[in-house]
Structure 1
Amino acid sequence: MNHDLARLARLLGAPTGARPKDWPAVARRLGTELPWDYREFIDTIGGGHLDDHLYVLEPDCANENYDLADNIEERAEALEYLWDGSEDPPAQLDEPGARLIAWASTDNGEFLYWLARPGQHPDDWTVMVNEARGDWWEHFDLGFAEFLLSTLAGNVRSEIIAYAFPRDPHSFRPLHGGG
């Protein structure tokens, strides 16, 4: 386990030893590889509920509400519907081929995404947060593990989810059933 993931596991008091995923099968289903630190987090800790507010989604989760692929598909359809109607996409998507890939949700309906730009390696994807039922977006020039660590440590603050995340003390509840 790398240093950042070990720190995350300690901060969250999370158990380790989740069932590793078949990442080539996940990549085939999604049509893309995923960031290494996310894959390592899922293989080591698993998807879960952080600080009683943030759900890190997991591939092949038995509970479809927290299944990564189901959420990616559902969010892509929902955003397309919104952007074809009344809302404008965030400016970061002005680059042709840029897209958002959901990786977490909150109890209130906010979503966290990777901003995937064309030709960019997944390990270089950054994080975007979208408010529930609105068009407010935040962009963080951080990857998955760095965003979680920085947020949990209080070094980075999302105005969208800050009222409920992070909490002290930190907590982690596995999603169970999906790995």
Structure 2
Amino acid sequence: MPEVRRLLTPIGETVGEAIDWNAMQSAYGTAFPGDFREFIERIGSGSIEDQLVVLAPRLNESQPNAVSRFSRYAIVEADRYEGWESRELAQRHPLGKMLIWGDTVGADTLCWFTEDPDPDAWPVAVFSRSSLMWSLHRCGMSGFLTQVLTGDLPDSPLSDESLLGWGEARFLHSRDEKTLYEAGIDPWEQ
């Protein structure tokens, strides 16, 4: 987590989010990785250079303990995507065991493969919209973001490689981004 925090510079007023992780665990049926919880608490949900979005889990306020239907943070449905390189990978990593934590400007889906009972051991799975293929990365969310920003991925799984090797990047919290857009200001054009 310290490395990705060093690489990200918040550009808005909002930093971090208060999340009731016990409520989220109850609603989603699983705990969340420690690096992700720390990222959300210290940095928050939002956009990295308008290229990659980190999503925070949400609850549906009208139905206590229900996942918000307005949130893009959800479990990947088993029939939503195909695209593992081999039948063996498809059998080892069923899509119904993936939990989305982000997406990209190239319409890629960033998830964890949640089969391990220890969330801190979950690898990152990426569905590349351009290749229609999944790739698995044996690191956590923070490690994956660090590898993207430093260019340390052997092969980029992302459809748009704009962030690959970017180095230090701007981060804008989702609340600040929404406020600016509602005021007619494109925060990424400044």
Q: Shared fold by TM > 0.5?
A: yes
| Counterpart check, 1:13 vs 2:13 | no
Structure 1 residues 34-61: Cα deviation after superposition (integer angstroms, max 9, x where no partner): 1010001000100110122000001239
The answer on whether the counterparts of 1:88 and 1:135 sit within 8 Å (CA) in structure 2 is: yes
CA distance change for structure 1 residues 102 and 92 in 2, over 3 Å: closer, same or farther?
farther
Equivalent in the alignment of 2:182: none
| Counterpart check, 1:33 vs 2:31 | yes
Within 1, Cα distance between the matches of 2:111 and 2:93? 18
Equivalent in the alignment of 1:125: 122
TM-score normalised to structure 2 length: 0.71
TM-score normalised to structure 1 length: 0.75
**Residues matched between the structures, number:** 163
Report the Cα offset of residue 130 of structure 1.
0.5
Q: Which stretch shows the higher mean deviation, 167-176 or 23-32?
A: 167-176
| Counterpart check, 1:170 vs 2:155 | no
Within 1, Cα distance between the matches of 2:79 and 2:73? 12
Within 2, Cα distance between the matches of 1:38 and 1:10? 16
Bigger fraction of residues in helix: 1
What letter matches 1:128 in structure 2?
A: A
Within 2, Cα distance between the matches of 1:145 and 1:133? 23
Percent identical residues: 26
Structure whose alpha-carbon radius of gyration is higher: 2
Report the Cα offset of residue 14 of structure 1.
2.4
Name structure 2 gaps, 5 residues minimum.
61-67, 179-190
Equivalent in the alignment of 2:76: 76
Report the Cα offset of residue 168 of structure 1.
5.2
